[in-house]
A and B are shown apart, each in its own frame.
Chain A
Amino acid sequence: MSKQEQHWEKTRNLLFITLAIWFVFSIGIFLFGAEMQESSIRPFGYPLTYWFTCQGSLAIFVILIFWFAGRQEKIDDEFGFTEREGEQ
């Protein structure tokens, strides 16, 4: 496998992980909205589903993107595909 193919495979795996986490917090948990609302886990005292819709999922997305960006940068560095200054 060429260097580029390896790079793309790692990139694709990172995408799958990222989308899996995204799926859980944007779609998955809302399949159980009614059940979660009754949960005894109450972040800051808010009902659980309510908290996810107004803060939880949103904050997780922000963190997820920065995490994803960091990991992708590592992959690019590993294969020497990072851009050099002024190269456009």
Chain B
Amino acid sequence: MIKGKFIDNLPKVYGIYTGGFLVFIIIMAIAEQAGMSAKMIGIFFVAFTVLIYALIGWLSRTLQTDAYYVAGRQVPTVFNGMATAADWMSGASFVAMAGGIYFKGYGYMALLVGWTGGYVLVASLLAPYLRKFGCYTVPDFIGTRYGGNLARFSAVIVLTVASFTYVTAQINATGTIASVALDIPFEIAVYVGLASILMCSMLGGMRAVTWTQVAQYIVLIIAYLLPVFWISNNIGAGFFPHFMLADEVARIAELEGQFGFVKNSAADLATVPKGLAGITKPHSSVNATPWAFISLAVCMMAGTASLPHVMMRYFTTPSVRTARRSVGWSLFFIFLLYSSAPMLATLSKISLMDPNLATGIIGKSITEVQALDWYQNWNQAKLMFVSDFNGNGTLELNEFFMKGSAVVLATPEIAGLPYVISGLVAAGGMAAAMSTADGLVLAISNALSHDVYYKIINPKAETAKRLIVARVLLVLIGFAGATIAALEIQGILGSVIWAFDFAMSGLFFPLVLGVWWKRANAPGAVAGMLLGLISGTAYLVWVRSGGSGFLGITQLTFGIVGASVSLVSMIVVSLITAAPDAATQKMVDDVRIPSGKTILGKQH
């Protein structure tokens, strides 16, 4: 496969791929009619898609550093947008987001606003300038802009803390999906997930990850949108749900008023399996204070603009101009899924709640619900639970419990869609979790191999040796992540949000001020990174161990503390130490205009 030709043929290649995937779905649907078991369908979906990704990973193998680190800087705008969207949308976005909206309503929607609004910061403050810089990794920028190994190394520390927190959650998610779809124990499934992640990234680095992420985006977006549209049509809610669910939203509010939110006693709740929740908050009304909403959104936005695995995707475009436009395309592709998540939550809730619908279960007799096929399946999978607390024989709103992920995983079945859709959803979830894990593992191992090994430890290393070190580190990081994931310490969503707070605490201001404030210098940046990370972490530990916190800042928004400390310490330390030398000032000037050579050479 000739490189230049491959790039020119991208629309055709991925067009054929998409067509092939749709044909595969149809074949599976026919096989289901012909009597193939649900389990086999699930196995086929996950195994088939993962093998395709592995094939792409193998075809994209490379022995060149710029291909390995930045995909040869020739990824076209729209395709980089798709790859970034897959890189970005994690297992949490895919599996847990609709569930979060379903249970928490408005307070949770701050994440949607934050995870999209952050891209405005990426496009306007950072991406084009970092592309002009020509760096391989985010610490590469910090190290060159501020100068000195200490600044570079501090950036590596922040990057590793944030990305590693994130990656364990993703490997956990691949394990969860693989264990359900392939029907193997979780402890083994985690390593199956890891093996698939490494197959996509090890041989080809960023180049392989780029082309698998595009393929994964196509699978995950089909897997998300198809059920949403199908369910909406199936229950007669409208053929284009995004513009037509107003009646359903109003109906849910009406039913909530009718059923009421009855609070369960602690004794009753103790009988509910762990991790399952009931509907306790209104679906569409404003149920969070402005500060709670805005502080969470701000953390997610600043975190978005500081997470290295996203930023490094914009190092792969051919030019500064395309990097900028590529951010717009990324957000467009993300928007397709994010704007659908609230629709899925609405459809899921109305299907279960409305007694006028055939699928509605609230108000039916408990025994009738317990006899439902789908209830038995999902109850067995520990995702659903009903109990007659008040002993009246009918299912009340406060007597139905579900896990957040069930909104995505179970709604197709509840709404009466064929099992082939559930198989498709499993493949989509796998794609989402794998693509993010790939990007994260690569971000960490690239920072360690390029910034720590090559730039600090052994600057004379040859290309071949550098790439071997990069791959060995990739495998080690992957295994470390999988080992921790197997312990299941934090829920998927919790650790994802922490990752944003860590990144924001340590990297947001050092990155932004590196471009926008010429006076920023190395001591200031080091102080900003380290003090920001330390104070944010300290606040998290304090709140986690029972501390009361201040200003309503919770363990999900500790980045506000970290970033504030980071900003203040960076400015103060920069001002009391010497201004950057003329060469650095000139470098910043050069970064600010798109034309001319990149600061760092093509191969460095």
Instruction: Give A residues with C-beta under 8 Å from B.
Output: 4, 7-8, 11, 14-15, 18-19, 22, 25-27, 30-34, 37, 42, 44-47, 49-50, 52-55, 57-59, 61-62, 64-66, 68-69, 72-73, 76, 79-84, 87-88
Contacts and interface: CB of A to CB of B under 8 A. Distances in A.
B589 to A, nearest CB: 6
B320 A83 contact: yes
A33 B116 contact: no
Given A47-B284, A68-B123, A83-B321, A61 B592 contact: no
B113 A65 contact: no
A57 B116 contact: yes
Nearest to A25: B117
B524 interface: no
B290 interface: yes
Contact of B117 (A8, A61, A66): A61
B244 A15 contact: no
A42 B249 CA distance: 12
Nearest to A55: B339
Contacts of A44: 243-244, 246
Contact of A18 (B109, B124, B249, B335): B124
Nearest to A5: B589
Contact of B119 (A32, A65, A81): A65
Given A25-B117, A53-B112, A72-B324, A87 B595 contact: yes
A84 B247 CA distance: 53
Contacts of A19: 120, 124
B120 A50 contact: no
A80 to B, nearest CB: 7
B481 interface: no
Contacts of A4: 589, 592-593
Contacts of B298: 27
Interface residues of B, number: 60
Contacts of A50: 106, 249, 284-285
A87 B339 contact: no
A34 B119 contact: no
B73, B328, B332, most chain A CB atoms within 10 A: B328
B interface secondary structure, majority: helix
A33 B290 contact: yes
Contacts of A8: 592
A34 B286 contact: yes
9 contacts: A32-B290, A49-B106, A49-B286, A50-B285, A54-B112, A59-B335, A61-B116, A64-B120, A83-B319
B294 A30 contact: yes
B338 interface: yes
B297 A30 contact: yes
Q: Which 10 A-B pairs have the closest CB atoms?
A: A45-B246, A53-B109, A54-B342, A26-B117, A65-B328, A81-B593, A22-B120, A69-B324, A33-B286, A66-B328
A73 B320 CA distance: 10
A26 B593 contact: no
Given A4-B593, A26-B297, A88-B319, A65 B112 contact: no
Contact of B109 (A54, A65, A76, A84): A54
B327 A88 contact: no
A53 B113 contact: yes
B68 to A, nearest CB: 17
Given A81-B593, A87-B595, A57 B294 contact: no
